[in-house]
């Protein structure tokens, strides 16, 4: 088994990665990849080592980037500047500024509108009869929710929806890059406007943040807006799509959830997050020599934590390849752990719950209507296209 195949997006698109990860967990759980197109790095595939690294931001820093990048792309432009990539002191300032927007009072305020968007999306899908679940349902609610938090005017949201789709699901790297530039340019204009005329939204909050007595630079505001937008749309969309596919492939589990939605929903959402794990990896850099899983990691070494692999570790999850909507306990790492635990965790779970509730309540017969297309990526996994027929 050659662990280097994990660096080919086709391995993840074709579903072969889980076979590779299973072999690595048993035979080589902390594996060194020699540098090539990518820098040299350690692959971590077991739950224990991944959890250990993510819980220690002092020894294993995210400041230089959390995604594995080809050497030709250079350093991550958000390194040390965004919430996910900041060193502990800066991370604390940014997290405190952002966290209030994900407090229960704001989530309660959004619940009614989330349910309305989910209800409308499912109703329109039933009227159409044949849909692509990814584009027609899973993509809609996350974008609406994130746009509401960021204070994006309703008239601008269709453009953001289109750019987000192209940035993450377009056929070529050039198309994805151009769409992402459109998003960055939009947030630059919005941030400049909100710095002069702040409103009641998250962009305004970021424009007023000070670090070491100085206002957060506009470029940093834009990078944080982009990070929140990407995290709040891409991962939720793929989790929704992956969750719907899992329920279709496991009809007995779907019926358990349908029969007692309120009683099963909480564990079902966590199991969907564990079983599908849309974020494929997160990366850290060692700030000092360390022992990880019996291997000597040097200062400066990169460590790539393969999250779907950690979430299928039999040492942590009995029958890890079984999809069980009643699984408990379920200590998955799909949303991270430690100081960089996803700030929007509860919001993401509410969105997934809202869509599943409406789909199971309104649609009595849902079947696949063609082949499922998966993303070709090292960063995010899940269906790119999920054609359904429903009544």
Per residue in 66-80, pLDDT (tens digit) is 999 999 988 887 777
Q: So what's the pLDDT on residue 3?
A: 95
Q: Residue 320: pLDDT above 90?
A: yes
183-191 CB contacts, 8 Å cutoff, 24+ apart:
183/226, 183/229, 184/222, 184/226, 186/156, 186/159, 186/160, 187/221, 187/222, 187/225, 187/226, 187/229, 188/218, 188/222, 190/150, 190/152, 190/225, 191/218, 191/221, 191/222, 191/225
Verify cis geometry, omega within 30 degrees of 0, for the bond prior to 329: yes
Q: So what's the pLDDT on residue 274?
A: 98
Nearest to 368 by CA among 284, 247, 214: 247
Q: So what's the pLDDT on residue 173?
A: 65
Burial class (CB in 10 A: 0-12, 13-18, 19+), 39: middle
Q: Which of the four pLDDT bands, split at 50, 70 and 90, describes residue 112? A: confident
Q: So what's the pLDDT on residue 218?
A: 92
Q: So what's the pLDDT on residue 140?
A: 87
For β-strands 302-306 and 41-44, DSSP reports them as parallel
Nearest to 302 by CA among 34, 28, 82, 2: 34
High-pLDDT (> 90) share of the chain, %: 64
Residue 283: partners with Cβ closer than 8 Å, 6 or more residues away: 41, 62, 65, 66, 67, 68, 302, 303, 304, 305
Q: Residue 321: pLDDT above 90?
A: yes
How far is the C-alpha of 130 from the C-alpha of 366, rounded, in Å?
10
Domain 3-367: give its CATH code: 1.10.630.10
Which two tokens mark 204? 């305004």
Which two tokens mark 264? 């099963």
3-state secondary structure of 312: coil
Residue 344 vs residue 287, higher pLDDT: 287
Contact 257, 325 (CB under 8 A): yes
Most confident of 49-58, 81-90, 182-191, 359-368: 49-58
Nearest to 273 by CA among 211, 332, 209: 332
pTM of the predicted protein model: 0.93
How do the domains of the chain map onto residue ranges?
3-367
DSSP 134: I
Residue pLDDT, tens place only, 15-66: 999 999 999 999 999 999 999 999 999 999 999 999 999 999 999 999 889 9
Q: Residue 167: pLDDT above 80?
A: no
Which two tokens mark 379? 């960063």
3-state secondary structure of 37: coil
Q: Which of the four pLDDT bands, split at 50, 70 and 90, describes residue 315? A: very high
Mean pLDDT of the chain: 91
* Residue whose token pair is 């990896």: 281
Residue pLDDT, tens place only, 131-150: 999 999 998 889 888 888 88
Q: So what's the pLDDT on residue 78?
A: 76
Residue 382 to residues 172, 177, 260, 279, 334, Cα–Cα distance (Å): 17, 20, 27, 9, 13
Count of CA atoms in the C-beta half-sphere (13 A) of 158? 1
Q: So what's the pLDDT on residue 172?
A: 66
3-state secondary structure of 317: coil
């Amino acid at each position: 088994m050659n662990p280097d195949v994990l660096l080919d997006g086709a391995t993840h698109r074709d579903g072969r990665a889980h076979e590779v990860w299973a072999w690595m967990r048993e035979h080589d759980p902390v594996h060194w990849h020699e540098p090539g197109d990518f820098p040299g790095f350690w692959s971590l595939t077991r739950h224990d080592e991944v959890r250990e690294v993510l819980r220690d931001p002092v020894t294993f820093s995210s400041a230089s980037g959390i995604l594995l990048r080809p050497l030709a792309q250079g350093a991550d432009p958000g390194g040390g500047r965004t919430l996910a990539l900041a060193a502990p002191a800066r991370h604390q300032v940014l997290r405190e500024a952002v966290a209030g927007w994900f407090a229960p009072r704001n989530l309660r305020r959004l619940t009614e509108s989330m349910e309305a968007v989910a209800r409308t999306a499912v109703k329109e899908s039933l009227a159409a009869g044949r849909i692509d679940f990814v584009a027609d349902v899973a993509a809609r609610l996350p974008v609406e929710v994130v746009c509401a938090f960021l204070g994006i005017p309703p008239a601008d949201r269709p453009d953001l929806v289109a750019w987000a789709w192209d940035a993450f699901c377009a056929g070529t790297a050039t198309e994805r890059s151009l769409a992402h530039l459109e998003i960055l340019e939009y947030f630059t204009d919005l941030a400049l406007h909100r710095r002069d005329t702040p409103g009641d939204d998250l962009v305004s909050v970021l424009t007023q943040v000070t670090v070491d007595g100085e206002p957060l630079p506009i470029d940093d505001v834009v990078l944080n807006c982009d990070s929140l937008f990407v995290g709040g749309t891409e991962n939720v969309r793929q989790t929704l799509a992956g969750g719907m596919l899992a329920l279709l492939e496991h009809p007995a589990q779907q019926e358990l959830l349908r029969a007692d939605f309120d009683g099963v929903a909480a564990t079902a959402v966590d199991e969907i997050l564990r079983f599908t794990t849309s974020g494929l990896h997160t990366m850290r850099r060692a700030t000092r020599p360390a022992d990880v899983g019996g291997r000597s990691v040097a200062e400066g070494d990169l460590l790539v934590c393969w999250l779907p692999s950690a979430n299928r570790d039999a040492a942590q999850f009995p029958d890890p390849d079984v999809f069980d909507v009643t699984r408990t306990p379920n200590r998955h790492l799909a949303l991270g752990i430690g100081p960089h635990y996803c700030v929007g965790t509860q919001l993401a779970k509410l969105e997934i719950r809202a869509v599943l509730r409406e789909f199971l309540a309104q649609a009595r017969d849902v079947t696949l209507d063609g082949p499922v297309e998966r993303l070709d990526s090292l960063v995010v996994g899940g269906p790119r296209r999920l054609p359904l027929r429903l009544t």
